[in-house]
């Protein structure tokens, strides 16, 4: 069962989707907030409690006027991690959510059709159908895009200083990549992985930039195996 509720962090009201029970899994969304009906929630929720907030300005979460940088988000989620129970938390980020899609800003300079083809292995099956979306869903989609540009447009969705500091990551790290991702290619993912000591890089076949949606079973299986280590 999915529950959508509110979470107060540093005076900011966030909407949050929860699923499952056990060790917390904090999910940071990408371009769009996590759909409560998406398949991977059911699958991954068998292995821990998923906590999936909508970042300020995304979905139905509030955003203070002076909250507008990636580093505001970093500090916010550090607070969320402190709030979660237990002594071990798994942090799971999609695309923008994990700074994994560092060069994805190039997609914003392309036509919508090209972005659609680049983002999905099977766009006809999985890409959003705007004609079929409700007015409320369209508003949320547009609001998510607006907030993404606010946080990530400069310097084009990457931190040029980050490669220097990735070596400080001492916890086990898994990078999952869609084999057909043409927004941020697997070669970029491999290079990213090489900068994180001991990290693992794995491909998910028949998936583009959103493997958790196109191949939810394979995605959940890889994450569940990682959690057991």
> What's the structural domain count of the chain?
1
List the domain range (segments joined by +) for residue 142. Answer: 3-227
- Give the CATH number for residue 60: 3.40.50.1820
The candidate with the shortest Cα–Cα distance to 15, out of 160, 170, 184, 143, is 143
Q: Tens digit of pLDDT per residue, the chain (229 long)?
A: 445 689 999 899 999 999 999 999 989 899 899 999 999 999 999 999 999 999 999 999 999 998 888 778 877 887 888 788 887 888 888 888 876 322 222 225 455 677 788 888 998 899 888 889 899 998 998 899 889 888 876 655 667 788 888 888 888 999 999 999 998 899 999 999 999 999 999 999 999 999 999 999 999 999 999 999 8
Rounded to an integer, what distance in angstroms lies between the CA atom of residue 54 and that of residue 61?
Answer: 6
Specify the 3-state DSSP secondary structure of 92.
Answer: strand
Distances (CA, A) of 194 to 173, 184, 221: 11, 16, 23
Rounded to an integer, what distance in angstroms lies between the CA atom of residue 52 and that of residue 58?
Answer: 12
């Amino acid at each position: 069962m999915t529950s959508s509720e509110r979470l107060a962090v540093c005076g900011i009201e966030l909407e949050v989707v929860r699923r499952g029970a056990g060790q917390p899994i904090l999910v940071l969304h990408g371009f769009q907030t996590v759909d409560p009906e998406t398949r991977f929630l059911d699958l991954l929720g068998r292995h821990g409690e998923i906590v999936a907030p909508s970042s300020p300005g995304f979905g139905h979460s509030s955003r203070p006027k002076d909250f507008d940088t990636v580093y505001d988000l970093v500090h916010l989620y550090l607070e969320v991690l402190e709030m979660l129970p237990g002594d071990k938390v798994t942090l799971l980020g999609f695309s923008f959510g994990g700074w994994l899609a560092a060069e994805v800003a190039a997609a914003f300079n392309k036509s919508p059709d090209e972005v659609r083809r680049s983002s999905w292995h099977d766009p006809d099956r999985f890409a959003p159908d705007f004609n079929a979306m409700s007015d409320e869903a369209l508003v949320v989609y547009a609001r998510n895009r607006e907030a993404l540009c606010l946080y990530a447009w400069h310097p084009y969705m990457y931190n040029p200083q980050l490669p220097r500091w990735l070596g400080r990551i001492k916890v086990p790290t898994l990078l999952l990549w869609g084999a057909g991702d043409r927004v941020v290619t697997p070669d970029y993912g491999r290079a990213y992985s090489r900068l994180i000591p001991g990290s693992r890089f794995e491909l998910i076949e028949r998936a583009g930039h959103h493997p958790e949606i196109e191949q939810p079973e394979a995605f959940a299986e890889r994450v569940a195996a990682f959690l057991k280590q």
